[in-house]
Amino acid sequence: MEGLPQIKIRGIEIDMIRKLSTRLIDELTIVTQSPKNDFTLEMIHSTFVLDGEVATSYPFVEIAWFDRGQEIQDQVAQTISKLINEAGCPSVDIMFTILEKPRYYENGEHY
């Protein structure tokens, strides 16, 4: 399933993610038993606003993928959390979006 899982990260400095990226994907390939080229890692640059002022952002990771079951999902969340925590972020939120094969298209064809 080429291009999946899609990992989108915001609220973390790009240099931190660049340093973690190889280890992160290498560990996730083991947990998910997916080839490395199935993953995409995207940094989303965003600005948080509160009460009319620019606010401090917080680390947030979103993973869009085809369902792999609760156990694998938990292991992925734990792996990502561990690496981001070790890099100096004491907290990180992670959200999974489950894609449905009939609703996901590549070149006009659904899975």
Tell me what pLDDT residue 1 has. 47
pTM of the predicted protein model: 0.90
Integer CA distances (angstroms), 71 to 31, 32, 37, 99, in order:
10, 10, 22, 17
Q: How much of the chain exceeds pLDDT 70, in percent?
A: 97
Beta strands in 36-92 (DSSP E): 40-43, 48-50, 53-55, 60-66
Q: Are 27 and 76 in contact (CB under 8 A)?
A: no
Rounded Cα distance, 83 and 92, in Å? 10
Cis peptide before 90 (omega within 30 of 0): no
Dist. CA 36–CA 13, nearest whole Å: 23
The arithmetic mean of pLDDT across residues 22-33, rounded, is: 96
Count the alpha carbons within 13 Å of 29 in the hemisphere toward its beta carbon: 13
